[in-house]
Chains A and B, each alone.
Chain A
Amino acid sequence: MTDTPATVPASRSSAPAGPVSRGAGSGRLRGAGNYLALLPFHLYVGLFLVLPTLIVTIGAFTTADGHFTWNNIAAVFSSDVFPDAFLKSIELAVSTAILGAVFGGLLAWAVVRGNPNGLLRQFVVAASGVLAQFGGVMLAFAFLATFGFNGLVTLLLKNQLGVVLDMSWLYTLTGLAVVYTYFQIPLMLIVFLPSLDGLRQEWYDASASLGGGSWAFWRHVGGPILAPSFLGALLLLFTNAFSAYATAAALISQGAPIITLQIASQMQSEVVLGQENVGKALALGMILIVSLVMAAYAWIQRRASRWVR
């Protein structure tokens, strides 16, 4: 499967290489051949991305034996668990997106103010590249090693200061928010740094020469220019947290408070007869929410790119 993409463009090599002065018919054929070379790519994406999405979408509206039904969607709305899980997921995504955007934005500002070729900037950018991807199991363990019952901070407080804190918050939604923020901050830095780099010195100078102070600059120049990129980054961070599963799965062992955990437990547990496809309805709900946010992101991104060159 994986080696067809290379061989197909190769096998097309004779057609475009032929003499240009052929009939109109073969010209059209050759045009079709050009598109044909993209077929392996489309087939692959079709099979491993579009097909699963279709299975989810169709499954959300069918019974286990393939008949159309609204029951899966109805089951999602009538249950007392699923709407709550969606809400909690959204709550978690919104709060960590805001925390990540604010602190990541501040970090980006602090980095931009420094030497552009300095060690600090290189280090922070490289580290952010890794840490933004540092979700999942490893991150959960990192926080267990920090705030868990035998974690560094817990033991330091207990043994050196005699303070015993209840660290069970780590295994709740609050803990998830703290842990998610950990990968949101570096992601924000990566996304937002280019926009901050786009702020030109001339604009500071122009603002200053008109008598504007720091506040005036950010209120009238920097703020409005950065607003679209900031908002776009916020949406990206939202989908990032909303889609996350691994971190929550590794950290939360009891119950399934958020929607990704609910979908996983639908997949893993024996499902009630007639409810086989409820998991697909939940998955479809996630696709809808993420697609809406990503569409807004793409729209904002187009506006933001005007100023960031």
Chain B
Amino acid sequence: MSLTPAQLGAAEPHGGALVAKRPKGAGKGLQPPLSQRAARVVVLVLVLGYLILPLLAMLEFSTRGDYDRATKTFARSLQSYANIFTYPNLIDGIMTSLEIAVLTVFGMLLLLVPTMVWTVVRVPRMRRVVEFLCLLPLAIPAIVIVVGIAPVYQWMGQNLGAVGGSALTLTFIDIILVLPYSYRAIDSSLRSIDTATLSDAARSLGAGWPRTIFEVIVPNIRGGILSASVLAIALVLGEYTISSLLSFNTVQVVIYLLGKRDPFVSVAVSLLALLFAFALLFVISRFAPGADHRAQRAAEEPA
């Protein structure tokens, strides 16, 4: 990742001096180093402290063992984590959510990738329309979608047999819910490559559309596809509103119900789910299109 001196300077006034010489007086008048550094530390400690405290509390809460009356402290134990496996409902919920997550990722990709590539190479006029539709779920709260879709699900449950009543049908709504996030991720990848030229080249060499899309375009937007998929997984694993109101036992619904009986296990599962999402997102942040974008922009920008 290459950075121009100006950018380095902008981001780090003190280290910036190593790269670009700046007038001493100007720098001083602009940012009083001590008070600014102090303010920065205060902000970081306060805000990050607020964000970290509940996470620490989850760790502490879920590792409680026996209570010692004398010292008024708890022994540490991983019993709550082991207990996860003693609740078959919980395991079922986790499996259901994972299955929905996988289906959502594939459904979302099959729906979005060909459509988005098609709008870029064949019907650019429709790009705004597709964008609008993809971002529309941001303007329609999930709870409103449930109210409107409950009759549809009632119909499916009554007329489509076991398939219509399965929790896996939540995939249909989850795909809608992830559209805004997935759209943005794939869109930023598509913008960073010259999709039209790539597809013209592939087609002039005799490739049909399926081959052009899946063997030429898709490998070039891997980063966007990966982020879109990870966002979809994170969203599905955290989804509660729709599954609870349509009475499907996904992992969040089970965690909530279990919380009334054994909050320690609920907190343990929540923490694990959070760590899982964090690990996933940390991994893709290294491959995400945004990362190369920033580098690219930095390289293009005149110093």
> A interface vs B, CB < 8 Å?
1-3, 5-6, 9-10, 12-13, 16-17, 34-35, 37-38, 40-42, 44-45, 48-49, 51-56, 59, 103-104, 106-107, 109-110, 112-117, 120, 122, 124-127, 129-131, 133-139, 141-146, 150-153, 159-160, 182, 185-186, 197, 199-202, 204-205, 207-209, 211-214, 217, 239, 242-243, 245-246, 249-250, 260, 263-264, 267-268, 279-280, 283, 286-287, 290-291, 294, 309
Q: Is B176 an interface residue (CB 8 A)?
A: yes
Given A48-B172, A136-B240, also A146-B130 (CB < 8 A)? no
> How many A-B contacts at CB < 8 Å in the complex?
311
Known: A141-B267, A145-B60, A186-B51; 9 extra A-B contacts, CB below 8 A, are: A12-B209, A38-B126, A52-B149, A104-B47, A107-B43, A125-B285, A143-B54, A153-B57, A249-B244
A130 touches B277 (CB 8 A): yes
Which of A56, A112, A151 has a CB less than 8 Å from the CB of B61? A151
A145 touches B267 (CB 8 A): yes
Q: Is B133 an interface residue (CB 8 A)?
A: yes
- The answer for the CA separation of A208 and B103 in the assembled complex, in Å, is 56
Q: Is B53 an interface residue (CB 8 A)?
A: yes
Shortest Cβ gap from B129 to chain A (Å)? 8
Which of A49, A107, A116 has a CB less than 8 Å from the CB of B8? A116
- The answer for the CA separation of A13 and B48 in the assembled complex, in Å, is 53
Q: Chain B: interface secondary structure?
A: helix
Q: Is B261 an interface residue (CB 8 A)?
A: no
**One of B21-29, B84-92, B190-198 contacting the partner:** B21-29
Name which of B6, B179, B238 has the most chain A CB atoms within 10 A of its CB: B238
Which A residues are in CB contact (< 8 Å) with B15? Answer: 115
Q: Is B263 an interface residue (CB 8 A)?
A: yes
- The answer for the CA separation of A291 and B136 in the assembled complex, in Å, is 9
Which of B16, B139, B245 has a CB less than 8 Å from the CB of A294? B139
Write 22 A-B pairs (CB below 8 A) sorted by A numbering: A2-B111, A13-B209, A16-B209, A45-B133, A48-B172, A54-B148, A56-B148, A110-B40, A126-B278, A137-B252, A137-B255, A138-B255, A141-B255, A141-B266, A143-B54, A145-B263, A152-B57, A152-B61, A153-B57, A159-B73, A245-B142, A260-B141
A245 touches B209 (CB 8 A): no
Q: Is B55 an interface residue (CB 8 A)?
A: yes
Shortest Cβ gap from A214 to chain B (Å)? 6
B57 touches A286 (CB 8 A): no
